[in-house]
């Protein structure tokens, strides 16, 4: 009997990715708010940084789905 089931591995994949994504969004979001307050012209660039952090959570979801269904 395996030590880890696929459901447990999928839960770890999505859980760790979501926690890391939330941390990245918090850091990038607060830094971008400060940067936009100083210079409103950098608004578009800072949204990209937040989107990169959010993509990490989506990658975790995709990995979890691959673990469960393949």
Q: How do residues 32-67 score in pLDDT, each as one tens digit?
A: 999 999 999 998 999 999 999 999 999 999 999 999
Alpha carbon distance 54, 68 (integer Å)? 22
**Model pLDDT for residues 20-41, shown as the tens digit of each residue:** 999 999 999 999 999 999 999 9
Angle at 36 between CA 48 and CA 34, to 5 degrees: 100
Domains and CATH numbers, the chain: 7-69 (1.20.20.10)
Q: Provide the token pair at 35.
A: 């940067």
- Per the CB < 8 A criterion, the answer to whether 43 and 36 are in contact is yes
Residue 1 three-state SS: coil
Which residues fall within 8 angstroms of residue 28, CB to CB, at 6 or more apart?
46, 49, 50, 52, 53
Predicted TM-score (pTM) of this structure: 0.84
């Amino acid at each position: 009997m395996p030590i880890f089931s696929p459901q447990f591995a999928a839960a770890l994949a999505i859980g760790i990715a979501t926690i890391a994504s939330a941390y990245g969004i918090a850091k990038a979001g607060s830094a971008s708010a400060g940067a936009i307050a100083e210079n409103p012209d950098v608004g578009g660039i800072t949204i990209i940084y937040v989107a990169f952090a959010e993509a990490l959570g989506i990658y975790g979801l995709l990995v979890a789905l691959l673990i469960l269904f393949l």
